[in-house]
Amino acid sequence: MSRHCAYCLIEIQGDQIKKCAGCMRRAYCSRECQVTDWTSKGQTHKLWCKEQICEEDIDWEIRQTPHKGLGVFAKRDLPKHTRIMVDRGYRTIQETPFAFIDSLVPTNGTLQEKWDTNSFYTPEGGDNLGIRLARVNHECRNNATNKFVPDLNTFILIAIRDIKQDEEINIQYYFYNDFSTSKEIRDARPSIIKPKWEVDCKPDCICLDQNIRDRIQKAHELDASIPSLPLRTEDQIKNALKQVDTLIEMSQELSSGIMPLARTYYDGFQIAITNKKTFPLHKKYIEKYLEACQVVESKHSLAYREALQYLQTPSSHRNHY
Ligand SMILES: [Zn+2]
Ligand SMILES: [Zn+2]
Ligand SMILES: [Zn+2]
């Protein structure tokens, strides 16, 4: 079986393949690449070696798709919440190794065009390019999602449902169902995804379904109303938590992603701790929030460590509402 070097990405065969002695899974072309990968900012294998992380050519592989150029495919069944990739985020064209950026689409484009097509903007980290992540194609009915973790300088790609062997792994490049974004942003989606990524949704695509779009807008309005709900009495707090629970249900029904859902759990936590009588209710919300942070951002992230602190010492947390 041929492998790809986990650091420089070149294809290697037979006795050229050097494996990490810790996990016996990650492959390298040379000692130099292994050493760099162990400590390099971002993917830092030192952090991930002991964890269940998928590897190229074992758990997933890059191959030709029928219509969209290259794509990433599962080489085995990948259960929901499997961490598929941990990929360093490059912040500028200059910082990205030339061979990496040059290999991306558009094939005959300039480096700037390749950067613009393949980088992701995140509010927490600005523009970032994940070289492996750039191979994952868009699908409105996505089976995976990605999150940039700024403190680790890393993209994490995770399965959001069970993915079968040989299934293509895909993400949404621009969410239609994230209720935390405004209608204006969601409505602008077609004019962004078509020219930028040649995503051309058929009329029966889930992202164009009017009933679903209306439900997302309802969830958005509910989400926007939660921070200003009155929380002076026990009854008012219980009512606010009822609204939170409704939004959680809607979010699950709309598959709005783990992070928008996590923010709602966090809202529930904040609301519950405002009153002594409702205080014990905070636990279920913060536990769910912690779980989401672990899945999407990993135990190494700042978000997870903060969430753990809220769980352990909830009363030290000040309510921002
Ligand atoms: Zn290498
Ligand atoms: Zn290892
Ligand atoms: Zn669509």
How many whole angstroms separate alpha carbon 116 and alpha carbon 246?
38
Answer yes or no: do 28 and 95 share one domain: yes
pLDDT recorded at residue 112: 95
Cα-to-centroid distance, 31 and ligand 2 (Å): 13
The answer on 149 and 13 residing in a single domain is yes
* CA of 78 relative to ligand 1 center, distance in Å: 26
Q: Please enumerate in sequence order all residues whose Cβ is within 8 A of that of 133, keeping only pairs 6 or more positions apart, or say none.
A: 85, 87, 120, 146, 155, 157
Domain co-membership, 122 together with 231: no
Domain boundary among 141, 168, 195: 168
Ligand with an atom nearest the CA of residue 47: 2
Residues 6+ apart with CB under 8 A from 208: 201
Nearest ligand atom owner, CA of 33: 1
Ligand 2: distance of its center to the CA of 252 in Å? Answer: 35
Please check whether residues 39 and 126 belong to one and the same domain.
yes
Does residue 260 sit in the same domain as residue 153? no
- Ligand 3 centroid to residue 176 C-alpha, Å: 8
pLDDT at 40: 77
CA 138 – ligand 3 centroid, Å: 9
With respect to residue 14, please indicate whether it lies within any of the assigned structural domains: yes
Q: Does residue 175 lie within any of the structural domains? A: no
**Domain region containing 246:** 206-316
Give the total number of structural domains in the chain.
2
Residuewise pLDDT in 10s, the chain (321 residues): 899 999 999 999 999 999 999 999 999 999 999 999 998 776 789 999 998 689 999 999 999 998 888 999 999 999 999 999 999 999 999 999 999 999 998 989 999 999 999 998 887 778 999 999 999 999 999 999 999 999 999 999 999 999 999 999 999 999 999 999 999 999 999 888 888 888 889 999 999 999 999 999 999 999 999 999 999 999 999 999 999 999 999 999 998 889 889 999 999 999 999 999 999 999 999 999 999 999 999 999 999 999 999 999 987 776 555
Could you tell me the pTM of the whole model?
A: 0.92
What CATH number did the domain enclosing 284 receive? 1.25.40
* 72 Cα to the center of ligand 2, angstroms: 22
> CB neighbours of 83 closer than 8 A, spacing ≥ 6?
51, 52, 53, 54, 156, 157, 158, 298
What are the two backbone dihedrals, phi and then psi, of residue 166, each rounded to the nearest 5 degrees?
75, -5
The helices-and-strands tally (H runs, E runs) of the chain is 11, 13
| Distance from chain centroid for Cα 309 | 23
Tokens 């830092």 -> residue: 44
Q: Which of 168, 192, 221 is where one domain is finished?
A: 168
pLDDT, tens digit (0-9, with 9 covering 90-100), for 149-196? 999 999 999 999 999 999 999 999 999 999 999 999 999 998 888 888
